[in-house]
A = this chain, B = another copy of it.
Amino acid sequence: MVRWEPGAQERLAAAALELYASRGFEQTTAADVAQSVGLTERTFFRYFADKREVLFAGQDHFQQLFVANVAAAPPEASAMEAVSFALDAAAVFFPDERRPHSRLRQSIIDANPGLHERELLKLARLTEGMAAALRDRGVPEPQATLAAHTGVTVFGVAFRLWVGEHEERPLGAIEADVLRDLQALSPSVR
């Protein structure tokens, strides 16, 4: 019998984060996570493909939103303006209240090479998704891929700073600073 467990997914995700951080990712099983919130392993696998996916389910959701915002930018927006539109949405998605959670999650990922690899791949897929969304807006190649890389780089670098230990600036302010830093590098045309 499949029972509906109100809030099960959220409870499992919160419990996983706590156990991965305290015991270590490798040392924690899906059954441990489920039992810690009074659910069964079977229920766990109804919501998550494996114990890694608990950490990335939110990221998948965010990445869809990030790409959707490229598509939702005003029709007259340039490639980089559409990317900025998505960066603004990212800053709204990660308000300061979310920072402790994001910090904890990042510390778990950084402690495990397999999880770090998965994160790198997700960011590479995000770049491909953004480039496709930009092409759908009529941006030609290679500009679409270049703008997508720029957007994901700015987001990725800003996010790493945002979860840094003593960082207090909101994500949107960091994104703006990183964009400025990127512009100041001014790749010299040869």
Contact = CB atoms under 8 A, between A and B. Distances in A.
A157 interface: yes
Interface string A102-124: 00000000000000010011011
Given A150-B185, A185-B147, A142 B124 contact: no
A121 B157 CA distance: 17
**A interface: dominant SS:** helix
Interface stretch (A12-20, A22-30, A31-39, A173-181): A173-181
A80 interface: yes
Contact of A142 (B121, B146, B161): B161
B157 A142 contact: yes
A189 B181 contact: no
Contacts of A186: 80, 183
A149 interface: yes
A158 to B, nearest CB: 8
A139 to B, nearest CB: 10
Contact of A120 (B79, B84, B124): B124
A64 interface: no
A3 interface: no
A185 to B, nearest CB: 5
B153 A157 contact: no
Given A183-B186, A190-B84, A153 B143 contact: no
Interface in A147-167: 147, 149-150, 153-154, 157, 161
A116 B185 CA distance: 30
A50 interface: no
A57 interface: no
